[in-house]
Amino acid sequence: MAAIDETGKAYLPVTTIVLKAIRCVSRHYYPPRKNSRVSSTELRSTASVGSSPSGSASRARPITGTHLPAFVFQTGKDLALHAAQIISRLIRERSDLGQSTVLGLPTGSTPVGTYRELIRLYDEQGLDFSNVIIFCLDEFYGIAKDNPQSHRLWLAEHFFNHVNVKQENVHCLDSQVVASDIELHCRRYDDLIQGAGGFDLVLLGIGRNGHIGFNEPFSMRKSRTRLCTLDPITRQGCASDFFGESNVPVQALTVGLSPILAARHVLLLALGEHKAAIVTETLEGVISDRVPASYLQEHVDARALLDLPAAGLLTGISMPWVLEKVEWDEALIKRAVLWLCERSGKSLLKLDDEDFRQHDLHQLLRHHGPAQRIAHRVFRWMQDTIEYHPAGKEKKTCLCFSPHPDDDVISMGGTLIRLVEDGHRVHIAYMTSGNIAVFDHDAHRVADLVTEYNRLFSIDQQKSVEVQQEVHAGLANKVPGQPDHATILKIKSLIRWSEARAGALHVGCGAEDLHFLDLPFYRTGTIAKRPMGEDDTAIIRELLERVQPDQIYVAGDLADPHGTHRVCAEAILSVLGQLQREGKPVPEVMLYRGAWQEYALHEIEIAVPLSPSDIELKREAIFMHESQKDEALFPGSDPREFWQRAEDRNKGTADKYNQIGLPEFFALEAFTRWNGNQI
């Protein structure tokens, strides 16, 4: 329980601090025991600084084997609710004592859900922010304060403007401070934090290189607020926000590690499987300046809140049998045995008892052995995933939801070919225009082409010249990262429309079965999108009720929780939930992956074999998306073209099937079935 010092600030009694310090030091010098568990008391403490809010802790599960207390949540929404409850309880407790609450806050997609929940608590439960002092943790250096990528502006739009925090209590680093004053500005920012009593709570995301704030790899443990040079991985991750990596600032201002680690409480949030590798290194690796987030292992009250994808590579999630006794259900048996194949380099039917013993699978062998029986069981399960007719042989209506205009052919082009060949009627719903992913020069070229076309055929030349001039002027005056003019966005949408149509026709779909939904949530002209709303779900529902599909395909990506794929999937599944509650029939739902990842072997429920000719036809369909070929505007961290990623992934899945002793295929497209839960 907190006590109060003479300044009015709450502090922990010395005995509590000592005990926590001992626990922290022991975590640092001694790796966690295999049978270690986080106590129920510690689990409850994650729900608040003190006690658990009703219903919140039940969604959190402690993860064993980490050097920093970590908890996993079924969904990002549960995590956001949990984090917001911790912050709100801290604010209320300190307010009841007549004290202010000092928060250090980040930007980015990770904390968006937490901010939305805090706004809801303000609107519906009267959470009072009038005595909250907020410090923005970082800012790009050199950009204008009204720039869409400004962290000051971002926090205002996503949080400050929606609650009753006083403007004088909001502090942001000055992105335009003159070079000669940077050191003084940073020192004064540190003084402001110290003058407010230091951070009561710091909310953190984590970069793919382990940065917190903009404390990049090799930042010093005692670093203060300063100007820093951004790591290439960080700039690459910001590229989509600035419409190209070349437009991302090279430097940024950041609160240092020292003020962050001096905070009374720290919450590290991580969402999405693209964070899984660095989360594992942070929570299970050694403390190192190469991974600045690993310094949180030293903190007496820091904890990590993760969704399932972000926690996916942690030992307690991916290989729990090496840490503790587990209940061996079908899913875990499959996962463990396929993992054993990978570790031992053996196919399923070559595994023996000694392989199980040498890889910490004694329990599995004891309860379900011998090895031959277990291996045969998993072999049959995996063999049953191979399906040449993914919708069956009886004629059906199938509907593929494509979040972006090229996701259909990139992710499941071979399966679309197979569905058409099997005689099914195949519809494709393109959920967004994808217009922000078109290069300016492509829009310029099309405007010129249409103008010349109209001139040649004497078609309303005056209007086309006006549009051409508008496009030329808009692109000439465009600042990097600035949203496009409406006319330019229409042309870019038209480019993606024509490419999607050509690709779908190439795999055999009919033009009348292509549906361009252009969902409203996407129409911002920027990377940041609006939350999915009722107008979006109404469009999806109308399509489902009109087409009446027997089977649908949905992009089930688990990367960015606020990315287009995840948002679209959640909207589709919410509509299906509505129909189900109303007693209406719902189709079979198959989930596919996007251009970035493939399902792990143990997750695959349907694997569709593809021949060399299928792959060639799929490649040609991808080539129809000319604006995304050679070099895409948002290629991510993978330098390969989309068709190369797709082929490598499909061939890679086939290789994995071959390695475990199943038939050798040229390529495979993988799917899972929706189990009715949130993704």
Pure H helices in 520-611 = 534-547, 564-581
Query: At 305, is the secondary structure helix, strand, or coil?
Result: strand
The one catalytic residue among 216, 281, 641, 647: 216
Phi-psi region of 4 (alpha: psi -120 to 50; beta: other; left: phi over 0): beta
Chain-centre distance of CA 310, in angstroms?
A: 8
CA distance 183 to 160: 27
Element (H, E) at 303: strand 302-307
Active site annotation includes 588: no
CA distance 507 to 421: 10
Print burial letters for 246-263: b (CB count within 10 Å at least 16), e (below 16): ebbbeebbbbbbbbbbeb
DSSP per position, 207-265:
-TT--BTTB-TT--TT--SEEEEPPHHHHHHHTTTTTSGGGS-SEEEE--HHHHHTSSE
3-state helix/strand/coil string of 479-539: CCCCCCCHHHHHHHHHHHHHHHHHHHHHCCCCHHHEEECCCHHHCCCCCCCCCCCHHHHHH
Closest by CA to 371, choosing from 412, 329, 333, is 333
Phi first, then psi: what are they for 588, rounded to 5°? Answer: -65, 140
Closest by CA to 193, choosing from 262, 130, 131, is 262
Tokens in use for 384? Answer: 């049953």
Q: Is residue 605 a contact partner of residue 673, using CB atoms and an 8 Å limit?
A: yes
Tokens in use for 11? Answer: 């502090």
Tokens in use for 69? Answer: 């207390």
Q: How many residues does the chain have?
A: 679
Q: Is residue 262 a contact partner of residue 190, using CB atoms and an 8 Å limit?
A: no
Tokens in use for 63? Answer: 């993860």
Tokens in use for 430? Answer: 């393109």
Calculate the alpha carbon distances from 513 to 266, 372, 500 in Å: 51, 49, 12
Calculate the alpha carbon distances from 266 to 131, 260, 282 in Å: 20, 8, 15
Please return the burial class of 188, using the count of CB atoms within 10 Å of its CB with bins 0-12, 13-18 and 19+: middle
Question: At residue 464, what is the residue type?
Answer: S
**Catalytic site positions:** 216
